[in-house]
Amino acid sequence: MRYRVTHRTTYTYDEPVTDSYGLAYVTPRALPGQEIETTEVMVSPAPSDLTTRGDYLGNTVTYFQVTEPHRKLEVEAVSTVRTAEPEHPEAALSQPWERARPLLHPDLPGARHATDFALPSALVAQTEQARAYGAESLTPGRPLGEAVTDLMRRVHADFSYDKTATTVTSTIPDIFSSRAGVCQDFAHLMLSCLRSHGLAVRYVSGYLATDPPPGKPRIVGADASHAWAAVWLPAVPTVPAPGEEAGPADVLPAQEPEGHWLALDPTNDQWAGERYVTVAWGRDYADVPPVKGVIFTEAKRSTLRVSVDVAPMDEEGNLVEVVGALPGGTPLDG
């Protein structure tokens, strides 16, 4: 798939802001199965400083500084991204989940890096309630892929999508109490349940290409940021056939030497596929919010407006018109 992704964040204030300093995680990552053809971050008013760098986890972060007085600040990122359906090594999916705990198996390739995602974080505590909920899926010896997929399905079934139920600072106990939330909350819940059993799980931010309502055209800017979880699957040693020698890396050719990450979306009850665009990952939302910063102002009121558009493109770079599928039908594209 090929998409043009536009993410526009607009702040307005009732009094002038003299200085704005911000960080933006709005540039998609270059990954196997995700090629970044073009990308640009623009800030208005024109910033006195606009710098792009990589952070500790390899995410692209843009720093900006606006020093002219302003009542409106806009951060816009436009990227052209090509995605492919990910491949997941069967051997890694089939291993017992207990093997994928980096703190207990530090000698596994990739375990040292994965450990960062097995520990508690600012927004993801490892509670007894989360551990008990996760234990229903993580039964002894169960295949890793099957266990984490079962947990994803249970979260989707047991928790309701409700934009009013939580905030960006809601805790794991808050989510269990409300039994509702948004994609960020469901990702955090997956992280807490799995980390409580020693597994390494990333919080992933990005976008999901969505279809319009049945019979309706796609509305520009009606998409949204999305979040999901990604679980570390350590590589599995090759078991050579009788009379054959193991390969030099002692891992199956289809596997990445330091392990593979399986992306799970509990909001939509599915593995992440080619309709997903990955922007950044961290220990939780606090590591990779789309935009954060500090302003100097006497303003008492402000408003935030976010517009996200994930538009399909053809090979010539033209946007593809999409109409929602009618019941019993299929999506129509131009």
Domain span at residue 143? 90-285
Q: Report which of 121, 292, 297 is spatially closest to residue 202, judged by C-alpha positions.
A: 121
CA max distance for the chain: 78
List the end-to-end C-alpha distance of the chain, in Å, as a whole number: 15
Per 3-state DSSP, the chain is made up of helix, strand and coil in percentages (nearest 5) of 20, 40, 40
CATH number, domain of 145, equals 3.10.620.30
Query: Is the domain of 252 the same as that of 203?
Result: yes
- Interval 85-106 mean pLDDT: 96
Which pair of tokens denotes residue 245? Answer: 């020698």
Query: Is the domain of 107 the same as that of 253?
Result: yes
Identify the bridge partners of residue 270 per DSSP, sorted by sequence position.
265
In tens, the pLDDT along 17-39 reads 999 999 999 999 999 999 999 99
CA within 13 Å, CB half, 283: 17
Per the structure, the count of domains in the chain is: 2
CATH number, domain of 58, equals 2.60.40.2250
Strands 160-161 and 180-181: parallel
Query: Is the domain of 230 the same as that of 123?
Result: yes
In tens, the pLDDT along 49-80 reads 999 999 999 999 999 999 999 999 999 999 99
Query: Is the domain of 79 the same as that of 200?
Result: no
Query: Is the domain of 126 the same as that of 176?
Result: yes
- Interval 9-18 mean pLDDT: 97
Residue 225 has pLDDT above 60, yes or no: yes
Query: Is the domain of 194 the same as that of 226?
Result: yes
333 assigned to some structural domain: no
Q: For a pLDDT cut of 70, what percent of the chain falls above it?
A: 88
Identify the bridge partners of residue 61 per DSSP, sorted by sequence position.
53
**The model's pTM:** 0.90
110 Rama class: left (phi>0) / alpha (psi -120 to 50) / beta:
left
334 assigned to some structural domain: no
User: What is the C-alpha separation between 104 and 200, in angstroms, rounded?
Assistant: 11
